[in-house]
């Protein structure tokens, strides 16, 4: 038992943090949210150069061939920095689907897309049947889409999209109309069930990891504000009601963290309980983040209720990612079901 | 082999050792099995006619629990993490956590010696003289001497540094600089001492320099409860049992060698004890994961009988189960940090809030499942284990420093908010 990250993993996070500290400031995030694409191609290129985009791409396709334990701190960092680019969707969702789905044409598909993804030249979006809109569909070159128990890989040009505005300006969801064809089939039957199940687990862990970073940023920003803002002649952070709001948020975050890291490890190691671990991770991280968002708004007062103040950027991400890929109550119900077995209520 | 490749191989091995690994080693698994086998053969049980023991807060139950401590001690299982010379096995933090998991899995008796072995002992290891360690640790490990904690006073609860019970130099000269080694005389009152009704010794804080600032001028004393001038008045707790007591001191003589740490430096010694109380050692995660497992069984039973009623509580059950596991993971995370040379500071206060609230959440969910049955006592005239556990869990947010105080600590010392 050694529940800690190794030096390479910590170092990778430091590198990403150095990049985001420089080129992902709140002003940069606002610019991305206001832009047509919702993100910055130059930042995307920088991420590719660092090796982040190819982290989960196998080495023979010019990636780093690493796992989710190597990725999880970077996802957390994406949340902390408010990174508008689809790091989670690319590294934790799309790449492993392309990598793992078998079937006809799988090898060509990998050759066509994986290297391009690692190089930052291709972007892939993922949409399941239950999603009302596919996040990032408009900027994707390829869409991995589920319908009727099948998974298809459809090029963007072959889809018709209706963009939907959404709360978090970097999500960029669109309703996608498309036709399945034999040539687009990625997985069906038991193969598709397996691919979709592990996709859902990675998504629960991955959204959880980003949410840890979001909660962390909300707490740090709010603690700083509480020291600086003076009312009744003293910093509001000296009032106990404010202290306790912040302490509670931090406690929820600190006890969610190891659960998310464990989930990444379980997925990497094919732990038979990996699904349950992923649901636990998401349930804890989603509550930590939405709780931190409520707290952050309350402690900021009216200034937090404006578009002008930066705290909104992280609050909105908390709300959208907490609901994405199953919210906390959904995942708690899954945990209970998995423990009690099918037929347990 | 080329030198380069030897180096490369060595580096690769280091890398592997540092990598995240959530499995136990073979040696740890073997240790677990050893513990399990011994507990299976020895834990007092109904089947063997040796259990369950009466509550440790009754005179009879207290003795039965001491006997159990003795049985464990004789097989060297009572204090596995201590050095062998004091009756332990010198195992590490992970092995201690494994021991605890097995202990709770086996539904073994509550540790009547917990205030000693989990709170005082770490402080004795840190601040005690070799003589004090040799004198007090073995009898603590064997259950021969049961310790209670004498900190709180009627007017000093959360504001612990406000204690008034005092210790004066025998013969009248006061303060740390008095060179006389004639010992001390204690006067005053302590209260809420867990196990105080039956305990043999007390570790307490007394004011030795009344002129000093509040947190200075306190000294940590080790006092036998049968010393002349000590009077104990048991207090019935919420569950009707005498789980704690008031202790009065009237001119109680204590020799110099029963001061733990430095005279007038008792506050820092006490904070070390409090760190153990809130941090890793008092409440190991197995306590909650086992209770969560029982909650799941209860849920299953209830869901079979009345699915609609059970489903009403499903989210609360899932929350409690998840939080218990989150606490366990956080403990392994922290234990790894400690083993890698890190330390636990004010973050221990987060731990204390989390375990106490998780405990309560487990029992609240259980009582919600039981509905109107929850209040009923069993045929034996005692509350059900759920009701009993609920009553005990209610104390968690109060003892070991209330959760409000812990939140203050988290806000001020972890998040850096102004004290004012
Ligand atoms: C079951 C049980 C066992 C115990 N065992 C022992 C023992 O073995 N030895 C021992 O010495 N003590 C023991 N205690 C006592 C325990 O340490 C105290 O109860 C605790 O420190 C709180 O003190 P108090 O009860 O006087 O409450 P108070 O300090 O009077 O507090 C009352 C309320 O006011 C709040 N409050 C007080 N100050 C602040 C503040 N600054 N900010 C915000 N809120 C505040 C508290 O959080 C609490 O909610 C035990 C208590 C219980 C319930």
**pLDDT band with cut points at 50, 70 and 90 for residue B376:** very high
Separation of alpha carbons A110 and B327, rounded Å: 41
Could you give the C-alpha distances from B263 to B24, B122, B125, in angstroms and in order? 44, 19, 17
Residue A343 pLDDT:
44
Q: Cβ(B197)–Cβ(B234) under 8 Å?
A: yes
Residue B343 pLDDT:
86
Residue B283 pLDDT:
87
Separation of alpha carbons A195 and B77, rounded Å: 48
Asked if residue B155 has its Cβ within 6 Å of ligand 1, the reply is: no
Q: Same domain, yes or no, for B257 and B327?
A: no
Residue A102 pLDDT:
82
**Mean per-residue pLDDT of chain B:** 93
Q: Is residue B274, in this structure, part of any structural domain at all?
A: no
Q: Is residue B103, in this structure, part of any structural domain at all?
A: yes
Q: In chain A, positions 208-267, which contact chain B (CB-CB < 8 Å)?
A: 219, 223, 226-227, 234-235, 237-238, 240, 242-244, 246-248, 250-251, 254-259, 261-262, 265-266
Asked if residue B193 has its Cβ within 6 Å of ligand 1, the reply is: yes
Q: Where does a domain end: B97, B112, B127?
A: B112
Q: Convert the pLDDT of each residue in B171-225 to its tens digit.
A: 865 544 444 568 999 999 999 999 999 999 999 999 999 999 989 999 999 999 9
Residue B273 pLDDT:
84
The domain of B350 spans: 283-414
What's the 3-state SS for chain B?
Answer: CCHHHHHHHHHHHHHHHHCCECCCCHHHHHHHHHHHHHHHHHCCCCCCCCCCCCCCCCHHHHHHHHHHHHHHHHCCCCCCCCCHHHCCCCCCHHHHHHHHHHHHHCCCCCCCCHHHHHHHHHHHHHHCCHHHHHHHHHHHHCCCCCEEEECCECCECCCHHHCCCEEEECCCCCCCCCCCCCCEEEEEEEEEEECCCCCCEEEEEEECCCCCCCCCCEEEEEEECCCCCEEEEEECCCCCCCCEEEEEEEEEEECHHHEECCCCEHHHHHHHHHHHHHCCCCCCCHHHHHHHHHHHHHHHHHHHHCHHHHHCCHHHHHHHHHHHHHHHHHHHHHHHHHHCCCCCCCCHHHHHHHHHHHHHHHHHHHHHHHHHHHHCECCCCCECHHHHHHHHHCCCCCCCCCHHHHHHHHHHHHCCCCCC
Q: B277 alpha carbon to ligand 1 midpoint, in Å?
A: 14
**From B95, B246, B277, B290, active-site residue:** B277
Q: Same domain, yes or no, for B232 and B297?
A: no
In Å, how far is B19's CA from the nearest CA of chain A? 5
Q: B192 alpha carbon to ligand 1 midpoint, in Å?
A: 9
Q: Same domain, yes or no, for B41 and B90?
A: yes
Between chains, do A258 and B326 touch, taking CB under 8 Å as contact?
yes
Could you give the C-alpha distances from B390 to A313, B29, B385, B393, in angstroms and in order? 42, 33, 8, 5
Q: Is residue B317, in this structure, part of any structural domain at all?
A: yes
Average pLDDT over residues B163-169: 97
Q: Is residue B15, in this structure, part of any structural domain at all?
A: no
In this predicted structure, the answer to whether residue B272 has a pLDDT above a threshold of 80 is: yes
A282: enclosing H helix or E strand: helix A274-300
Q: Which residue of B has its CA nearest to A220?
A: B415
Q: Same domain, yes or no, for B305 and B381?
A: yes
Separation of alpha carbons B374 and B367, rounded Å: 6
Separation of alpha carbons B217 and B206, rounded Å: 9
Q: How far is CA B397 from the centre of its chain?
A: 14
Q: Same domain, yes or no, for B107 and B188?
A: no
Q: Same domain, yes or no, for B261 and B154?
A: yes
Q: Convert the pLDDT of each residue in A92-140 to its tens digit.
A: 999 999 999 887 888 999 999 999 999 999 999 999 999 999 999 999 9
Three-point CA angle B101, B105, B108, nearest 5°: 100
Q: Is residue B366, in this structure, part of any structural domain at all?
A: yes
Give SS3 for A325.
Answer: coil
Q: Token pair of A35, please?
A: 């832009």
Q: Is residue B69, in this structure, part of any structural domain at all?
A: yes
Separation of alpha carbons A119 and A63, rounded Å: 9
Between chains, do B300 and A344 touch, taking CB under 8 Å as contact?
yes
**pLDDT band with cut points at 50, 70 and 90 for residue B362:** very high
Please name every residue paired with B156 in a beta bridge, in sequence order, or none if there are none.
B153
Between chains, do A256 and B420 touch, taking CB under 8 Å as contact?
no
Q: Is residue B187, in this structure, part of any structural domain at all?
A: yes
Please name every residue paired with B232 in a beta bridge, in sequence order, or none if there are none.
B247
Separation of alpha carbons B150 and B160, rounded Å: 11
Burial of A72-82, coded b for 16+ CB within 10 Å and e otherwise, reads bbbbbbbbbbb
Dihedral over alpha carbons B329, B334, B339, B341 (to 10 degrees): 150
Q: A336 alpha carbon to ligand 1 midpoint, in Å?
A: 36
Q: Is residue B406, in this structure, part of any structural domain at all?
A: yes
**pLDDT band with cut points at 50, 70 and 90 for residue B2:** low
Residues of chain B with Cβ-Cβ distance to A242 below 8 Å are 417
Q: Same domain, yes or no, for B216 and B261?
A: yes
In this predicted structure, the answer to whether residue B15 has a pLDDT above a threshold of 60 is: no
* Structural domains of chain A in order of their starting residue, each with its CATH number: 7-187 (1.10.540.10), 191-341 (1.20.140.10)
Q: In chain B, positions 82-111, which contact chain A (CB-CB < 8 Å)?
A: 94
Q: Convert the pLDDT of each residue in A221-246 to its tens digit.
A: 999 999 999 999 999 999 999 999 99
Asked if B407 reaches chain A (Cβ–Cβ under 8 Å), the answer is: yes
Separation of alpha carbons B148 and B196, rounded Å: 6
Q: How, if at all, do strands A234-235 and B147-150 pair?
A: unpaired
Residue A342 pLDDT:
47
Q: In chain B, positions 7-36, which contact chain A (CB-CB < 8 Å)?
A: 15, 17-25, 28
Q: Same domain, yes or no, for B346 and B372?
A: yes
At residue B91, φ and ψ (nearest 5 deg) are: -80, 165
Q: Same domain, yes or no, for B347 and B406?
A: yes
Which of B146, B357, B323 lies closest to B245, judged by CA?
B146
pTM of the model: 0.95
Q: Token pair of B54, please?
A: 């009466």
Contacts 24+ apart (CB under 8 A), B239-242: B239/B383, B239/B388, B239/B391, B239/B392, B241/B55, B241/B57, B241/B58, B242/B57, B242/B58, B242/B197
Q: How many CB pairs under 8 A join A and B?
A: 156
Q: Same domain, yes or no, for B249 and B294?
A: no
In this predicted structure, the answer to whether residue B5 has a pLDDT above a threshold of 80 is: no
Q: Cβ(A140)–Cβ(A127) under 8 Å?
A: no
Asked if residue B402 has its Cβ within 6 Å of ligand 1, the reply is: yes
Q: Which residue has the higher pLDDT, B181 or B244?
A: B244
Q: Please give the tally of structural domains in chain B.
A: 3
CATH of the domain at B168: 2.40.110.10
Q: Cβ(A78)–Cβ(A216) under 8 Å?
A: no
CATH of the domain at B301: 1.20.140.10
Residue B6 pLDDT:
55
Q: Which residue of A has its CA nearest to B329?
A: A258
Burial of B309-332, coded b for 16+ CB within 10 Å and e otherwise, reads ebbebbebbbbbbbbbbbbbbbbb
At residue A151, φ and ψ (nearest 5 deg) are: -120, 130
CATH of the domain at B58: 1.10.540.10
Between chains, do B19 and A219 touch, taking CB under 8 Å as contact?
no
Contacts of B46 (CB under 8 A, 6+ apart): B52
Burial of B265-297, coded b for 16+ CB within 10 Å and e otherwise, reads bbbebbebbbbbbbbbbbbbbbbbbbbbeebbe
In Å, how far is B403's CA from the nearest CA of chain A? 10
Share of chain A above pLDDT 90, in %: 96
Q: Is B69 a catalytic residue?
A: no
Separation of alpha carbons B216 and B313, rounded Å: 50
In this predicted structure, the answer to whether residue B16 has a pLDDT above a threshold of 80 is: no
In this predicted structure, the answer to whether residue B324 has a pLDDT above a threshold of 50 is: yes
Between chains, do B326 and A256 touch, taking CB under 8 Å as contact?
yes
Q: How, if at all, do strands B147-150 and B201-207 pair?
A: parallel
When computed from its CA atoms, the radius of gyration of chain A, rounded to whole angstroms, is 20
Q: Same domain, yes or no, for B294 and B405?
A: yes
**pLDDT band with cut points at 50, 70 and 90 for residue B289:** very high
Between chains, do A254 and B347 touch, taking CB under 8 Å as contact?
yes
Q: Which value does ipTM take for this structure?
A: 0.96
Written as tens digits, the pLDDT of chain A (345 aa) is 999 999 999 999 999 999 999 999 999 999 999 999 899 999 999 999 999 999 999 999 999 999 999 999 999 999 999 999 999 999 999 999 999 988 788 899 999 999 999 999 999 999 999 999 999 999 999 999 999 999 999 999 999 999 999 999 999 999 999 999 999 999 999 999 999 999 999 999 999 999 999 999 999 999 999 999 999 999 999 999 999 999 999 999 999 999 999 999 999 999 999 999 999 999 999 999 999 999 999 999 999 999 999 999 999 999 999 999 999 999 999 999 999 984 443
Q: Same domain, yes or no, for B100 and B154?
A: no
């Amino acid at each position: 038992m050694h529940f800690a990250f190794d030096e390479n993993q910590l170092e990778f996070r430091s590198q990403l943090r150095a990049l985001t500290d420089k080129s992902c400031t709140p002003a940069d995030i606002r610019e991305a949210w206001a832009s047509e694409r919702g993100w910055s191609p130059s930042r995307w290129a920088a991420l590719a150069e660092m090796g982040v985009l190819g982290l989960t791409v196998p080495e023979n396709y010019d990636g780093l061939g690493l796992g989710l334990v190597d990725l999880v701190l970077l996802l957390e960092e994406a949340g902390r920095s408010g990174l508008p680019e689809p790091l989670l969707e690319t590294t934790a969702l799309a790449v492993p689907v392309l990598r793992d789905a078998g079937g006809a044409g799988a090898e060509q598909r990998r050759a066509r897309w994986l290297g391009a993804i690692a190089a930052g030249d291709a972007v892939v979006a993922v949409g399941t049947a239950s999603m009302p809109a596919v996040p990032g569909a408009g900027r994707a070159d390829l869409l991995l889409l589920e319908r009727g128990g099948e998974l298809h890989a459809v090029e963007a040009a072959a889809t018709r999209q209706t963009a939907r505005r959404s709360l978090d300006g970097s999500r960029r969801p669109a309703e996608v109309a498309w036709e399945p064809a034999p040539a687009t089939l990625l997985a069906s039957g038991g193969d598709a069930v397996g691919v979709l199940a592990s996709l859902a687990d990675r998504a629960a862990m991955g959204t959880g990891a980003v949410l840890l970073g979001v909660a962390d940023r909300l707490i740090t920003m709010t603690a700083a504000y509480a020291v600086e803002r003076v009312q009744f002649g003293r910093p509001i952070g000296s009032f106990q009601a404010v202290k306790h709001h912040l302490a509670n948020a931090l406690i929820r975050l600190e006890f969610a963290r190891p659960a998310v890291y464990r989930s990444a490890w379980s997925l990497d190691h094919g732990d038979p309980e990996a699904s349950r671990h992923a649901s636990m991770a998401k349930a804890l991280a989603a509550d930590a983040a939405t709780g931190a968002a409520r707290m952050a708004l309350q402690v900021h007062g009216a200034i937090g209720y404006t578009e002008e103040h930066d705290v909104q950027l992280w609050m909105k991400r908390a709300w959208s990612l907490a609901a994405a890929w199953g919210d906390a109550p959904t995942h708690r119900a899954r945990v209970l079901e998995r423990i009690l077995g099918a037929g347990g209520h | 082999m080329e030198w380069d490749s030897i180096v490369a191989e060595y580096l690769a091995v280091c890398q592997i050792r540092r990598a995240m690994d959530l499995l136990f080693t073979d040696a740890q698994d073997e240790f677990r099995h050893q513990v399990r086998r011994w507990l299976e053969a020895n834990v007092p049980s109904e089947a063997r006619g040796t259990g369950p023991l009466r509550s440790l807060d009754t005179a009879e139950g207290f003795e039965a629990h001491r006997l159990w401590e003795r049985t464990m001690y004789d097989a060297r299982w009572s204090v596995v993490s201590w050095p062998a010379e004091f009756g332990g096995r010198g195992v590490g933090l992970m092995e201690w956590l494994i021991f605890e998991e097995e202990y709770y899995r086996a539904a073994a008796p509550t540790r009547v010696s917990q205030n000693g072995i989990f709170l005082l002992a770490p402080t004795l290891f840190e601040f005690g003289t070799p003589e004090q360690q040799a004198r007090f640790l073995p009898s603590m490990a064997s259950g021969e001497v049961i310790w209670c904690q004498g900190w709180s006073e009627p007017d000093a609860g959360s504001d612990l540094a406000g204690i008034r019970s005092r210790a004066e130099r025998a013969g009248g000269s006061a303060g740390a600089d008095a060179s006389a080694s004639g010992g001390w005389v204690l006067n005053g009152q302590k209260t809420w001492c867990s196990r105080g009704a039956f305990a043999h010794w007390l570790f307490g804080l007394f004011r030795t320099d009344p002129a000093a600032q509040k947190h200075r001028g306190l000294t940590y004393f080790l006092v036998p409860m049968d010393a002349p001038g000590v009077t104990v008045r048991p207090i019935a707790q919420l569950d009707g049992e005498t789980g704690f007591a008031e202790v009065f001191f009237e001119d109680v003589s204590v020799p110099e060698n029963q001061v733990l740490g430095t005279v007038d430096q008792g506050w820092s010694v006490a904070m070390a004890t409090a760190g153990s109380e809130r941090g890793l050692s008092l409440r190991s995660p197995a306590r909650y994961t086992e209770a969560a497992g029982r909650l799941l069984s209860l849920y299953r039973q209830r869901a079979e009988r009345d699915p609609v009623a059970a489903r009403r509580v499903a989210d609360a059950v899932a929350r409690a189960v998840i939080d218990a596991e989150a606490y366990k993971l956080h403990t392994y995370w922290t234990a790894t940090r400690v083993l890698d040379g890190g330390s636990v500071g004010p973050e221990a206060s987060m731990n204390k809030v989390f375990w106490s609230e998780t405990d309560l959440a487990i029992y609240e969910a259980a009582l919600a499942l039981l509905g109107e049955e929850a209040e009923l006592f069993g045929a034996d005239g005692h509350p059900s284990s759920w009701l009993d556990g609920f009553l005990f869990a209610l104390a968690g947010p109060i003892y070991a420093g209330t959760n409000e105080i812990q939140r203050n600590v988290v806000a001020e010392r972890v998040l850096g908010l102004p004290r004012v």
